[in-house]
Structure 1
């Protein structure tokens, strides 16, 4: 899934909180966006392994969410939505097309690394690939609660993320071709994700 789709998942948690809890909605929304994006900060290390914990995020997210329900302060709620967003991101990468420059070719066998299981999980392909039409549609649907609940800067951020999502989806396959030429050099021809 696109990074923006992951951020919108986090915002769904934040929107639910904003409707029922009297805390700083803007701060909670930013925490949700950052939580949804956080696992992908490992793109400079071992992507989908270094900061992706499809099991372990939940070990922390569940008790922190319970604490946030019992003691709903801005800090506890922000921590809860951050961890829920990060956990949902890492887990949902298992549902995508896999870790590959061209996931639509369905050759990748790695989706996300599970430290709990000690192995790479295979892609389920419920969402064909990041930037696919299905991913864009999911992103748009997940953005709806945030558009209705939040105002001001948060709503502007949501609209900008939607525009980025559309642009990425339109040019996704082009980006793969350009990326291969830049990273692999001419004549390498490897696009199956086998080196990832």
Structure 2
């Protein structure tokens, strides 16, 4: 799933907590947003492995959730929401497409890495690939209740997520060609090989 979908999913996860504990609303919505985005900070360094922990984020969400119930402060509640949103992100990736340059071709059997078992989880492809039409529809479905409920400064965040998602979905199938051209033809003229070496393999070829 694309990043705006994950970001909105994290915020929506935080929404009931924000409604039930309005004194913590700003903190938990921010935590949900950050937790939804956090795993994808590994986009250029072992994507869906370095910061993706479907099992451990879930365990941390459970432990910190209990702590938040026993000692509900802005910090404890926000931390619990952050880990829950990160866990939902990782689990959501397992229901999406594989980790390849053109995920609509269905050639990869790697969805997200399970560090607990030391193996990759196979993609379910309920959402065929990040930026697919159904991914954008999911973004809209997540955005609607948030738009109707949250106030400043989060309403602009919801709108920005939808705009980014729309642009990404509209151009998604063009991006592999642009990435291949950029990394194989354009950037080698201007960047040293040492910098290009850190680029994900899928940007340099059509494989994983």
TM interval, shorter chain, is: over 0.9
The answer (yes or no) to whether the contact 1:68–1:76 under 8 Å persists in 2 is yes
User: Secondary structure in 2 aligned to 1:120?
Assistant: strand
Residues 52-94 of structure 1: CA distance to partner in whole angstroms, max 9, x if unpaired? 0111111110121122233222111111111011011111111
The answer (yes or no) to whether the contact 1:19–1:149 under 8 Å persists in 2 is no
Alignment of 1:134-153 (within 5 A): 134-153=134-153
How far has the Cα of 1:185 moved from its partner? 4.5
Q: Which range is displaced more, 169-178 or 64-73?
A: 64-73
How far has the Cα of 1:189 moved from its partner? 8.9
- Could you tell me how far apart the structure 2 residues matched to 1:184 and 1:55 are? 36
User: Secondary structure in 2 aligned to 1:12?
Assistant: helix
- Could you tell me how far apart the structure 1 residues matched to 2:60 and 2:133 are? 33
Q: 1:158 corresponds to which residue?
A: 158
Q: How many residues align?
A: 192
Structure 1 gap ranges (5+): none
Alignment of 1:43-192 (within 5 A): 43-185=43-185, 190-191=205-206
What is the TM-score normalised by the length of structure 2?
0.87
Residues 23-60 of structure 1: CA distance to partner in whole angstroms, max 9, x if unpaired? 33122211111100000111121111110011111111
- Could you tell me how far apart the structure 1 residues matched to 2:143 and 2:69 are? 24
Q: 1:40 corresponds to which residue?
A: 40
- Could you tell me how far apart the structure 2 residues matched to 1:77 and 1:8 are? 18
Structure 1 residue ranges, 4+ long, deviating more than 4 angstroms after superposition: none
Whose RCO is larger (CA < 8 A, sep 6+)?
A: 1
The answer (yes or no) to whether the contact 2:19–2:25 under 8 Å persists in 1 is no
What is the TM-score normalised by the length of structure 1?
0.92
User: Secondary structure in 2 aligned to 1:23?
Assistant: helix
User: Secondary structure in 1 aligned to 2:182?
Assistant: helix
Structure 2 gap ranges (5+): 187-202
